[in-house]
Amino acid sequence: MANNQIASVAGAGTKLTIQVFHQQLPLKSVFRIARGAKTQADVVLVAISDGQHTGWGEAVPYGRYHESVAGVSQQIKNLPLDTLSSENLPGADTCDKGFEALIAKLPGGAARNALDCAWWDLKAKRRQNTVAALLSLPPATPCISAQTLSIDTPQAMASAVAKLDNPPLVKVKLDNDNIIGKMTAIKQAAPNSQFIVDANEGWSINDLQSCCQALKALDVVLIEQPLPAGKDQGLIYFDSPIPLCADESCHTRAELDYLKNRYQVVNIKLDKTGGLSEAVLLAREAKAMGFDIMLGCMVASSLAMAPVSLLSAYAQFVDLDGPLLIKKDRHYGFEFNHGLMQPLNTQLWGGPNINDKLIHLVTP
């Protein structure tokens, strides 16, 4: 795990200091989806310190949304901390609200996500409490997380799922090449499993219409983002036998009205919402509007999964297996046992952890 500090921001008149690191997390194997393949996860790690405590956040700049490590780091570096000087904003509480306002002005994406999550971690340490308690979230309990298969040949995908020994839920990445052939091979190798199919915008409406009934017979319980975002009008007129989930089509609460009558489920990812603050509001509003919830992730370490895992009580589907795809996870990472994901260890994030200065920069 390589560490490379690429930015540091400090405000004159305020104790807050922000450090930004680029970390490269090698993967266990090549990870392929409909739009490409990769062998490592490039993550941005943010540390916000007040001189006594340090809060941490991890985010994944995503090329699909025109993000890069350099661009995200520059967004954070440009944060005008000088406007938080005690002369302008007297009082610690006022300075805190001013900092939150600076974060909220950033567009939803990886930069805001890393800052927002690091800020929640710092607040928990300052207040000697947990983030879950500060947000009045239901207690987390063990939950089933999908385990992901990347795109390959039918034989290779069948072999990969067989090694998982009939996990309860498998997420299958598929483009529009041989959809049913691949799923049939996978189902034969994992006869007791259920499946989520993720097309990553790679299908047409004809692909969807032609394969839905067969996929349902193969125990596919959810289809994620079959059509390109913004080109999903055909879903309004399609009565799908399998619930459809909006991923690339859903970033924040702003899209919910558009998604109604197209999708039944929304996938909440912090790198889309811009952090936990918006994710909590999105989860609550989506539920109130009748959507089911899926919690998703980019390929990253347990530190990136930690904040969104606090929303598991809202979710019908959890897909937070990113740490299982990298070679080495962080200390105090999530425990997985045959698909069962244990709740967050607050020694990792989101609790009054006294070892908060170096833990995430130490090679696991």
Report the largest interatomic distance among the alpha carbons of the chain, rounded to a whole angstrom.
Answer: 68
Domain boundary among 104, 128, 152: 128
pLDDT one-digit tens code per residue, 140-161: 899 999 999 999 999 999 999 9
Residue pair 198/247 in contact by the 8 Å Cβ criterion: yes
Q: CA-to-CA distance for 144 and 147, rounded, in angstroms? A: 9
Does residue 277 sit in the same domain as residue 187? yes
Does residue 267 sit in the same domain as residue 297? yes
CATH number at 41 reads 3.30.390.10
CATH number at 295 reads 3.20.20.120
Does residue 121 sit in the same domain as residue 260? no
Total of domains in the chain: 2
Q: How distant is the alpha carbon of residue 69 from its chain centre?
A: 17
- Strands 2-10 and 36-49, by their bridges, are unpaired
CB within 8 Å of 311: residues ≥ 6 apart = 137, 268, 279, 280, 283, 293, 295
Residue 135 lies inside a defined structural domain of this protein: no
pLDDT one-digit tens code per residue, 34-51: 777 889 999 999 999 988
pLDDT one-digit tens code per residue, 183-234: 999 999 999 999 999 999 999 999 999 999 999 999 999 999 999 999 999 9
pLDDT one-digit tens code per residue, 126-143: 999 999 999 999 988 999
Candidates 315, 349, 316; CA nearest to 332 is 349
pLDDT higher at 244 or 13: 244
Query: Which residues make beta-bridge pairs with 43?
Result: 23
Does residue 20 sit in the same domain as residue 62? yes
Q: What is the pTM of this model?
A: 0.92
Q: CA-to-CA distance for 82 and 99, rounded, in angstroms? A: 10
